[in-house]
Amino acid sequence: MNLWAPLDPKNIQDPFPMYAVLRQKAPIYKSQTGEWIISRYADVKEILKDPDFKSGNKLEWINRGITYFKNKGEDLSHIAVAINSFLLLINPPEHTRIRKFINSVWDNKEVDQLILENIDTLLNTKKRFKTIDIVDDFAKPLPNMTICKIMGISISHYERLSVLSNNLVKVLNLYNSFKDLVRIDAAAQSLISLFKELLETKKNNPGNDLISKLITGNDGEPEPLSDEALISIFIFLFIAGQETTIGLISTGLLHLSQHPDQLKELIRKPELAPRAVDELLRYDGPVHLLGRIAARDTQFDGQHIREGDAVTLCLASANRDDQYFENPDLLDISRHPNRHIAFGSGIHFCLGDWLAKRQGTLAIGKFIEIYPKYHIPDQTPQWNDNLSIRTIRHLSCSI
């Protein structure tokens, strides 16, 4: 019996029964595609924090694919250039250097005000409507508008950038077809061109935005990063929080509507919003799967994982582990403590977790404040065909 079927439509719609079976019957499971599937909280967290499990081989896989298709007359090299400095795909010492560099110039001052202004802009335009699409009208544009302001990108570009980033982020899917790679490469080429132009503009006329700070900070580094590496960092920072924040807001509002007792409690006690967001992240966070590569032979629960083996970590399964969380299938916005691993753990812990959580907290809080009686008629929405980062395609809502 195949216990791992991430592309099965029923598991895309609801993967939690599959996760539960894995935790119970085969928590360290060798899949038909060759990778190990890790589903228990303790095992997932141990591997996330173990330096002998390296970040996944996506860059290596992409480079092999580029070489293969180049021999067939297809140039997909823009993908590798675009993602070459993505923190979630690289390992120390390069990972340590780039993460330290970004943290040295990126602060969270005045971010709340930016987010609230964007929320007001989006919701005020919908006040005369009876229905909205939570994904298209609210959850999707909000993180894009916010990161545009933080990075110093003209807000007029955000719709085009949103489409491009949505296409490029598909490179993180578990499996990609040739047609997928062609679309991803086209998006990568456009993003490289756009951010190269921004790099040159801000070199000559720096401001107080994140791109300018990265350029200025890089000039002061003992060994400055190349322009190509800087552009990859810009792309990473722009897209890193897009899909996750979209998923947090839209999935969060869906689950609150499915649990009216919890929604009423949050409306009654808005100060619970930060705890509510942590619980929504635990209950059904947007990042379900992460990849790692074993750098050594190791034993887990009687299974021998060999050096070079691919390992898929089921974060969403770990966050429903009844060995760690009481009543894990129950949504409880007052849950405390709540040591979920929705943003990972260890050195690859999500760089922008604070920004995603602030946007989620402010967006969900403001939405239910303005629309306390919102209603989502379709409680079984269509999900995007990607279990790694699980998001809803559309979510119509009566307000």
Q: For the chain, what is the HEC assignment?
A: CCCCCCCCHHHHHCCHHHHHHHHHHCCEEECCCCCEEECCHHHHHHHHHCCCEEECCHHHHHHHHHHHHHCCCCCCHHHHHHHCCCHHHCCCCHHHHHHHHHHHHCCCCCHHHHHHHHHHHHHHCCCCCCEEEHHHHHHCHHHHHHHHHHHCCCHHHHHHHHHHHHHHHHHHCCCCCHHHHHHHHHHHHHHHHHHHHHHHHHHHCCCCCHHHHHHHHHHCCCCCCCHHHHHHHHHHHHHHCHHHHHHHHHHHHHHHHHCHHHHHHHHHCHHHHHHHHHHHHHHHCCECEEEEEECCCEEECCEEECCCCEEEEEHHHHCCCCCCCCCCCCCCCCCCCCCCCCCCCHHHCCCCHHHHHHHHHHHHHHHHHHCCCCECCCCCCCECCCCCECCECCCEEEC
Q: At 309, is the secondary structure helix, strand, or coil?
A: coil
Q: Amino acid identity of 192? A: I
Give pLDDT, residue 182: 87
Reported as a single tens digit per residue, the pLDDT across 78-120 is: 888 888 888 777 778 888 898 888 888 887 777 899 999 999 9
Omega before 337 cis (within 30°)? yes
Hey, which residues does 303 pair with through a beta bridge?
300
Give pLDDT, residue 174: 63
Q: Tens digit of pLDDT per residue, the chain (399 long)?
A: 789 999 899 999 999 999 999 999 999 999 988 899 999 999 999 999 998 888 866 667 777 777 777 767 777 888 888 888 887 777 788 888 988 888 888 877 778 999 999 999 999 887 788 899 999 999 999 998 999 999 999 877 877 888 888 888 877 776 677 888 888 899 999 999 999 999 999 999 999 999 999 999 999 888 899 999 999 999 989 888 788 899 999 999 999 999 999 999 999 999 999 999 999 999 999 999 988 989 899 888 889 999 989 899 999 999 999 999 999 999 999 999 999 999 988 777 777 788 899 999 999 999 999 999 999 987 788 898 888 889 999 999 998
Distance CA 329, CA 332 (A): 9
With a CB cutoff of 8 Å and minimum separation 6, the contacts of 128 are none
Query: Of 364, 351, 346, which Cα lies nearest the Cα of 281?
Result: 364
Give pLDDT, residue 385: 84
Using an 8 Å Cβ cutoff, are 19 and 285 in contact? no
- Tell which CATH classification among 2.40.50.90, 3.40.50.300, 3.40.50.2000, 1.10.630.10 matches the domain 9-398: 1.10.630.10
Q: How far is CA 133 from CA 130, 139, 193, 381, 395, in A?
A: 11, 9, 32, 12, 5
Residue ranges of the domains in the chain? 9-398
From the CB of residue 372, how many other CB atoms can be counted at a distance below 10 Å? 12
What secondary structure letter does DSSP report for 53? Answer: E
